[in-house]
Structure 1
Amino acid sequence: MRASKAVPETFDTLITGAIVVGTNTQNAAQVGIVDGRVAALLDPREPAVARTVIAADGCILLPGLVDAHAHLREPGLTHKEDFSSGTHAAALGGVTTILDMPTDDPWTATDAQLSDKMALARGRIHVDVGFQAVVSHDLERIAPLHGLAPVSFELFTADVPEQFLFASMDEVVSALKRFARLDTLVGISPGDQSLLMGSAQSDRTGGIAAFLESRSVLAEAVGISRALLAGAATGTRIHVRQINSALGIETWRRLRGMADASVETTPQNLFFTVQDYASHGARLKGSPPLRDKADVGALRDALAAGLIDIVATDHAPHDAAEKAARYATFAEIPGGMPGLQTLLQAMLKLVDEGLIGFRDIARMCAQNPAERFGLGQRKGRIAPGHDADILIIDPRQASDIRNADQVSKAGYTPFDGWSVRGRLTRVLLRGEEIMRDGRLVANGKGLVLTREH
């Protein structure tokens, strides 16, 4: 099964005894690592020499997860999270690459802001991080931003500050035309500003029902259709953020072939319903809002059928006091929740339930996001030439999810109290062990990543 033309006489590290999982494969193999990259996949019986041998008998090897949607909150919002705390959580949870969203303070809208953010991260991150830039109405900023090779650009169609709001189809198309000949990806958060504003004017009670109405399944479906049609009309590569309704899924299913497009959802959307607001309250408040049981069922069916390209966290922590404060309306509660440390465990829960398999985790949480966001030459696979970002999982053990174990500044997880079959025992980043048995064992080893050309 030798998967390299020239196998070194001696590997830096050799992982033995495990099942190596890829998008289309799940085979017993030894993994040989040299200079931080996978050098060879060897038959389990083939003799090999290494300076370090990791015996992983009976374990599963997954590629390090790539979270395509996270908010590390730095600069400007470091009371909520920062580069160190967020990437610490990621390392403990098996996320070896984070793609950080541009909605900090200030938003990452200029080449100077992106350059400063990259510099701020270097030396302080425990996993690799790629940065995303926001599209503003000053479209002349796109070219210099693109020169710094962010992993994507983000375009918003609802519920953001005016300078970043592209509320009409004309505005969306005008912006996307700037990207048609650029080697990049544009993420679009689906929504409809007119429905949001109309709902706000018609219902001033400010409760959960008003919040749900303002960000309805219709708004999601309209946003998805508009994104796909605009992508088709301009020839721009797009990525649709956070789908979570039956109507949105059906819209995606019917129109997705029209454009070069991918779509994501999040673990919370696969497990929680609107009824869970009664017990979890502000801790589950985010956008899009949770949906009905039928919507969750439709989303799970779409996941199992391969209609969902990427599962990402939308890790968006807040200070505990911010979430616990009293607000005049439900909509005013800061939206978002932590997710980096629990992404793998949530996906293992879906494996436990028989909805997906290990290869689906490799596809939706590693290979697809790496390839879609311009990192596929190095990330997302356990294959010769790729970075040796590897998760060692013991399927014979269970892992418990507890608030007390969370290292994000949010200090909680919506999955508190769950038990999952499968325990992450080690995490390797470019061949170096950064996590063992739930503890960070190497600090600041992450790199700032840029989009491949």
Structure 2
Amino acid sequence: MFDTIISGATVVNADGEARADVGIKDGRVAAILTLGDAAEARTVVDATSCHLLPGLVDAHVHLREPGLTQKEDFDSGTRAAALGGVTSVLDMPTDDPWTATSEQLAEKMAMAKGRIHVDVGFQAVLSQDLSLLEGLLALRPVSLELFTADVPEVFRFDTIDAVAGMLKRLAGCDTLIGISPGDQSILEGSGLRNRAGDIAAFLASRPPLAEAGGVARAILAAAGTGARIHVRQVNSALGVSTWRRLRDMADVTVETTPQNLFFTAEDYTTAGANLKGSPPLRDARDVEALRLALSEGLIDIVATDHAPHSPAEKAATYAAFADIPGGTPGLQTLLPTMLKLVAEGVIALSDLVRMCARNPAERFGLGGSKGVIAPGYDADILVVDRRRTSVITDAEQASRAAYTPFDGWSIPARLTHVFLRGEEIVRDGAITAEAHGAVVARRA
């Protein structure tokens, strides 16, 4: 007997769709059943004419704890994730303090237990202190993050020699290295050339050239060392073109974010602080290039870079546009914005699953448990009804940011149920279970 059967739906995986019932036992998918097969279960969920998707895996999230909990914390951030169908969150290390030592990583993991509504994997930051590596690797974080620009000097690897040196040190380690592309020399040079402090100055300080150079540097360094890397969000036509030409040289994947697929720098004039983040938004030609790359399968992962700030922080007055705290909330809107791209014909449902579930799970060491609806995998399952519509609103956001840049957008689908390891945690937009998410570590 199964614990639960979800019946009558179309199961969507990265490799296609099939109508089937799904049998769940002990928190995992136990069987994919032919529709109508005689089977017993304690609970039957009727999902007739709906689609079942694996729970999404967001590979780029800032939950802001410890130290920055006025912006977000484990409870509010993972509540937003659950409501949005993200059942696995991979948390970045840029809190206060940054997660740079094994002690800090262990403390963060312990702090999350009992307070998270979905599963959470943690990412640690690489610093100039190589003695920290062994302790970090022993805790099996889902990635180690390497920054090239716009961060404190102790965490900055701003030359190709520095990047290659660290990748060479890590090439034999069983881990993934996330690299945020940028160029510290352009950032500093732009600051000297343009002190206006306006939106144009901010855009000039982080141009497509800096991104493309960072992408090239990361790939070349990986090719020269044999390291496994993941390039953080790209959003320019030049960056995409560089990626297209060089990606086969190394073991490398790339991500972008939903905001970069919809908004341009012109939107700063109306949304201002609420859209300000890094890298900055580009122009319509860049959005078009990014969408084309998405359609062609050149983008491996779509993640949110969920980076909330308190409303007071965003609303404050700053001397320069660049000084506004950078980042927007996104966990609760990843699924609906991707469903909008499906409705627009940019991607298919199976592409959504590939980029937002299977690929991030496999790349960040959660393969075999997350990102696929198949026997043996965790029963992290979303029920999506494409016969209904939903509207994204500020009022429904669980993040402490208390807004979304997608407020008022109509989505031709509705998320009706979210299951985490076989237990229903969301139904019709409401949390239905106590927080029982698990801290997950890199498996392979």
TM-score category by the smaller chain?
A: over 0.9
User: Does residue 256 of structure 2 align to residue 255 of structure 1?
Assistant: no
Q: Aligned with 1:396: secondary structure?
A: coil
Aligned to 1:41: 32
Question: How far, CA to CA, are the matches of 1:278 and 1:202 in structure 2?
Answer: 23
Inter-partner Cα distance in structure 1 for 2:249 and 2:170: 17
The amino acid across from 1:324 in the alignment is A
Deviations 1:48-69 (A, max 9, x none): 1111100100100000000000
2:349 maps to 1:358: yes
Question: Does 2:392 match 1:401?
Answer: yes
Q: 1:217-296 maps to which residues of 2 (within 5 A)?
A: 217-296=208-287
- Distance, in Å, in 2 between the alignment partners of 1:162 and 1:62 is 42
Match of residue 330 from structure 2: 339
Q: Residue 420 of structure 2 aligns to which amino acid in structure 1?
A: L
Partner Cα separation in structure 2 for residue 384 and residue 377 of structure 1: 10
Counterpart check, 1:188 vs 2:179? yes
AA aligned to 1:134 is V
The SS at the match of 1:290 is coil
Matched, 1:108 2:105: no
Q: Secondary structure at the match of 2:342?
A: helix
| 2-structure distance, mates of 1:66, 1:285 | 24
1:326 maps to amino acid: T
Q: Deviations over 1:104-161 (max 9, x none)?
A: 0000000000000000000000000000000000012111100000000000000000
Matched, 1:175 2:172: no
Residues in 2 aligned to 1:140 and 1:228: alpha-carbon distance in whole angstroms: 25
Residue equivalent to 1:329? 320
What secondary structure is seen at the aligned counterpart in 2 of 1:264?
Answer: strand
**Structure 1 residue aligned with 2:202:** 211
Report how many residues are paired.
444
The residue type equivalent to 1:439 in the other structure is A
CA distance in structure 1 between the partners assigned to 2:429 and 2:210 by the alignment: 41
Structure 2 counterpart SS, 1:348: helix
1:133 and 2:130 are equivalent in the alignment: no
Deviations 1:158-208 (Å, cap 9, x if unpaired)?
Answer: 000010010111111111112100111000000000000000000000111
SS at match of 1:397: coil
Counterpart CA distance in 1 for 2:332 and 2:353 is 17
Letter in 2 for 1:244: N
C-alpha distance in structure 2 between counterparts of 1:67 and 1:107, whole Å:
20
Counterpart selection for 1:27 from 7, 18, 38: 18
DSSP 3-state at the match of 2:413 = strand
> What amino acid is the match of 2:339?
L
Letter matched to residue 16 of structure 2:
T
What does residue 89 of structure 1 align with?
80
What TM-score results when the alignment is normalised by the length of structure 2?
A: 1.00
Aligned to 1:376: 367
Please give the secondary structure, in 1, of the residue aligned with 2:387: strand
The correspondence for 1:199, drawn from 190, 193, 218, is 190
- Aligned-residue offset at 1:439: 0.4
Alignment of 1:311-326 (within 5 A): 311-326=302-317
Deviations 1:270-317 (A, max 9, x none): 000010001100000000000010000000000000000000000000
Moved more, 167-176 or 154-163: 167-176
Distance in 2, matches of 1:11 and 1:443, equals 23
Residues in 2 aligned to 1:30 and 1:180: alpha-carbon distance in whole angstroms? 43
What are the superposed Cα offsets for residues 251-285 of structure 1, whole Å, 9 maximum, x if unpaired?
A: 00000000100000000000000100011000000
Structure 2 unmatched runs, 5+: none
Runs of 4+ in 1 over 3 A off after TM superposition: none
Letter of the 2:168 counterpart: K
Equivalent residue number for residue 7 of structure 1: none
Letter in 2 for 1:413: T
| RMSD (Å) for aligned C-alpha atoms | 0.5
| 1:423 aligns to 2:414 (yes or no) | yes
For the residues of structure 1 that align with 2:198 and 2:261, how far apart are their CA atoms?
23
For 1:222, the aligned partner's letter is G
State TM-score, norm by structure 1: 0.98
What is the SS of the residue equivalent to 1:434?
strand
